[in-house]
Amino acid sequence: MKAQIVSFHCVLKTKLGKVISSTFNHDVITRDGHQPADLLKGLVLGLQDLKIGERRQISLSAAEAYGFYDPAQVLKKSRDEFPPEEPLRLGSRVVLQSARTGRKVFRVTEINNEFLVLDANHPLAGEDLVFEIEATAVRDATSDEIQDSLAVVDIENLH
C-alpha cells in the first residue's frame, strides 16, 4: 500500500446514525503501520488506496475506536486544589502530573463550589463510530512527506 496525501469530507456518526460532526480534512497522509498506537488504526486502514470522488463508510466498534468508557479514569478533586483565578468551565482541559501515572489530560465534566469531576476518557469512548468519507483530492505522498510526517491522521480534528 502506497502512502497517499488525501483531502476528504468526513461525517462522523454513531452506529445509530446520530451525527457527531462534519469536517473537511485537508492533506492528510495515510500509511498503514506507521501511525502512533493511539490513533484509529481502522480509520487509517479504511483511508488506504482512495480515489478522487470515492465515498466510503468506515465502521469501527468502540474497542477499535476510542476504547470502552473506564470509570477508573474519572477523578473527583477538591476545588481548593485549583487556583481560584483559574478559569475552569465545563469541557475545560486540565493536565495533571503524578509520579504514578505521569502526565494525563482530563476534561472538566462537573463543577460546584466544593469539587470538580475530571474525566480522562475520550469524549467518544464507548461509542461505535461510522466515518462517512468522500475523497476530494488524492495523490501519492513524496518520500520527503513520508519521512517528515509525524501526524498520520489528525484524529482530534475528526470529531
State phi, psi for 73 to the nearest 5 degrees: -90, 10
Q: What is the CATH number of domain 71-119?
A: 2.40.10.330
* Predicted local confidence at residue 36, as pLDDT: 47
- pTM of this prediction? 0.76
- Fold match, 4-66+125-158 / 71-119: no
Residue 4 identity (one-letter amino acid): Q
Q: Which fold has domain 4-66+125-158?
A: Chitinase A; domain 3 (3.10.50)
Tens-binned pLDDT, residue by residue, of the chain (159 aa)? 688 999 999 999 999 999 999 999 999 888 755 454 445 888 888 888 999 999 999 999 999 999 999 999 999 999 888 887 777 899 999 988 888 878 899 999 999 889 999 999 999 999 999 999 999 999 998 888 888 764 444 444 444
Give the cell for residue 108: 472538566
Domain ranges of the chain: 4-66+125-158, 71-119
